[in-house]
Amino acid sequence: MDAILEMRGITKEFPGVKALDRVNLAVRRGEIRALVGENGAGKSTLMKVLSGVYPAGSYEGEILYEGQPMAFRGIADSEARGIIIIHQELALVPELSIAENIFLGNEIARYGVIDWPETRRRTASLLAKVGLRENPDTRVEDLGLGKQQLVEIAKALSKKVRLLILDEPTSSLNERDSEALLDLLVELKTREGLTAILISHKLNEVSRVADSLTVLRDGTTVASRDMSDSSYGEGEIIRDMVGRSMSDRYPPRTPRIGDTVMEVADWRVHHPTHRDRLVVKGVNFHLRQGEVLGIAGLMGAGRTELAMSLFGRSYGQGISGTVRIHGRPADLSTIPRAIRAGLAYATEDRKGLGLVLADSIRRNVPLANLDAVARAGVVDEHREAGVAEDYRARVNIKCASIEQETVNLSGGNQQKVVLSKWLFADPDILILDEPTRGIDVGAKFEIYSIIAALAAQGKSIIVISSEMPELLGITDRLYVMNEGRFVGELPTADATQEKIMAMIVTSGDQTHGPGETIRA
């Protein structure tokens, strides 16, 4: 085997936790190797060992790169050898141009002065390699997420990358941008001999582009296979990831749907800075007790904007329309009033908006209902700890203790803390925006089970998701949104991905009245 990389017997310990236990990973030159496992399995820790974030001496085991033993002391060391990591959270400076971002820290200079003409020329050449035609002077903040991801790859190419590591590269991309990125990865492998490690929870992506696969579970290597082996499919990968068979990825449930709980009529929302731009265009919908209602649509359709504007007008301006909850007009004009009206909103951006990452689980869980853990306006730490311990057990938050900082939890466990925060507020209506983004299949099943249990208790739930199989697997009824309007409604039992996409594609050619929908 012509291995460009071998990691042998890698063991990494933190106080009280063995994150990696004698992990082995081998990557052949010119291949795409997928690295999969549940959140917390050790994938990111292993890549931090490889890149020098955890420097030589802080772990046991050895790293051989291009046949030579390596002892990286930091990221600069690994990058100098052509090992480049593109993280899930992009490391671009939005206010700077594409050219400035690509050569940031690696500037092209003559006599101590940046050579801008040469910088722009090389940037244009790199952009052409990744299929972008943007002007090198375009600011990164003016690009969509898909193009930003391609800029990150161009930046890696500028550093003469030999081993590219992509950590969940499509987690924030729509289907079209995801396909373009994966096609580019295969093209770079074929055209330039690029070697890559792809970390992904999306097994369809792994099956599509990976030549081989390594599975980590609980900090150990449990499988290493060639994807050409037809006997090793998604079911076998999931079994290795979670340690058990998951023949059904969605928990069974028998819906018990009651009367209408929430009615929204002619809801209109203008852009927060461009008042003349209508983002949500006369939406009408209703939600019933015990119902799991899905909102499908492409990225940019207005789903998150709708949800945030309903939740205390936390998005937009010039908002109009009416909301009735339990048959009475509801005041949702501020977030505290929305919470008192029985609403909760779990944001798609759990790290930026859903959690105080530097704080503990104990501090995060009661945040949406502090009055319930306070005496005379002062938080009672014993009550706070009791609530956190209760929800730790209820939703199975895997952690060393409730004093653990949420920043150190896996994505799935962070999401459970977000859900715990809103469940403690005891809402009647939960809006869950991309509730399983960046979460592995095992943790997804746990989140789905929580949703099913809440619906069984009579809670009403709205799920926004870019994963159509997820919506088809857990919801009772679907609305389809496109360009700020609801363009379709149908029972999930009658829905297919093809029907949903047909509603989206054909809606642009049809004229509707305010909030009018096409029914399947």
- pLDDT of 507: 63
- Look up residue 339 and give its DSSP letter: H
C-alpha separations of 55 from 41, 86, 217 in Å = 20, 19, 23
Regarding whether 141 and 36 lie in a shared domain, the answer is yes
Establish if 347 belongs to a structural domain.
no
Regarding whether 115 and 12 lie in a shared domain, the answer is yes
- pLDDT of 502: 83
Q: Compute the average pLDDT of residues 424-446.
A: 88
What SS3 state is found at 348?
A: coil
Angle formed by the axes of helices 116-129 and 145-158, nearest 10°:
110
Regarding whether 505 and 411 lie in a shared domain, the answer is no
Sorted by sequence, the CB contacts under 8 Å of residue 191 that are 6+ apart come out as none
Q: Compute the average pLDDT of residues 423-434.
A: 94
Sorted by sequence, the CB contacts under 8 Å of residue 489 that are 6+ apart come out as 285, 477, 478, 479, 480, 517, 518, 519, 520
Confidence of residue 453 (pLDDT cuts 50, 70, 90): very high
Regarding whether 396 and 406 lie in a shared domain, the answer is yes
Sorted by sequence, the CB contacts under 8 Å of residue 442 that are 6+ apart come out as 38, 241, 242, 246, 412
Pairing type for strands 163-167 and 83-86 reads parallel
The answer to whether 518 and 507 have CB atoms below 8 angstroms apart is: yes
Regarding whether 416 and 283 lie in a shared domain, the answer is no
Regarding whether 203 and 56 lie in a shared domain, the answer is yes
Confidence of residue 519 (pLDDT cuts 50, 70, 90): very low
Least confident of 27-36, 39-48, 182-191: 39-48
Type of residue found at 296: A
Answer yes or no: is pLDDT of 427 > 70: yes
Answer yes or no: is pLDDT of 269 > 60: yes
Regarding whether 382 and 330 lie in a shared domain, the answer is no
- pLDDT of 65: 94
- pLDDT of 300: 75
Confidence of residue 511 (pLDDT cuts 50, 70, 90): very low
What does the pLDDT look like over 242-254, one tens digit per residue? Answer: 776 555 678 888 9
Regarding whether 255 and 227 lie in a shared domain, the answer is no
What does the pLDDT look like over 222-232, one tens digit per residue? Answer: 999 999 888 88
- pLDDT of 518: 43
* Greatest distance between any 2 Cα atoms in the chain: 75
Mark which of 394, 426, 458 sits at the end of a domain.
426
- pLDDT of 411: 79
Q: Is 483 left (phi over 0), alpha (psi -120 to 50) or beta?
A: left
- pLDDT of 509: 44
Confidence of residue 421 (pLDDT cuts 50, 70, 90): very high
Number of domain units in the chain:
3
Q: Where are the alpha helices (DSSP H) in 330-440?
A: 335-340, 361-364, 381-394, 411-424
Indicate which CATH number applies to the domain containing 433. 3.40.50.300
Confidence of residue 408 (pLDDT cuts 50, 70, 90): confident
Q: Compute the average pLDDT of residues 305-328.
A: 95
Regarding whether 72 and 219 lie in a shared domain, the answer is yes
What does the pLDDT look like over 494-508, one tens digit per residue? Answer: 998 888 888 887 765
- pLDDT of 205: 85
Answer yes or no: is pLDDT of 492 > 70: yes
Q: Please give the distance of CA 417 from its chain centroid, rounded to a whole number.
A: 16
What does the pLDDT look like over 141-196, one tens digit per residue? Answer: 888 877 888 898 888 888 888 999 988 888 767 677 788 888 888 988 998 889 99
- The chain-wide mean pLDDT, for the chain, equals 88
Establish if 349 belongs to a structural domain.
no
Tokens coding 40? 């917390």
What does the pLDDT look like over 339-395, one tens digit per residue? Answer: 999 999 999 888 888 899 999 999 999 999 999 999 988 999 999 999 999 999 998
Regarding whether 450 and 302 lie in a shared domain, the answer is yes
Regarding whether 102 and 232 lie in a shared domain, the answer is yes
Establish if 485 belongs to a structural domain.
yes
Domain carrying residue 414: 354-426
Establish if 348 belongs to a structural domain.
no
Mark which of 242, 268, 298 sits at the end of a domain.
242
Regarding whether 333 and 189 lie in a shared domain, the answer is no
Mark which of 242, 277, 295 sits at the end of a domain.
242
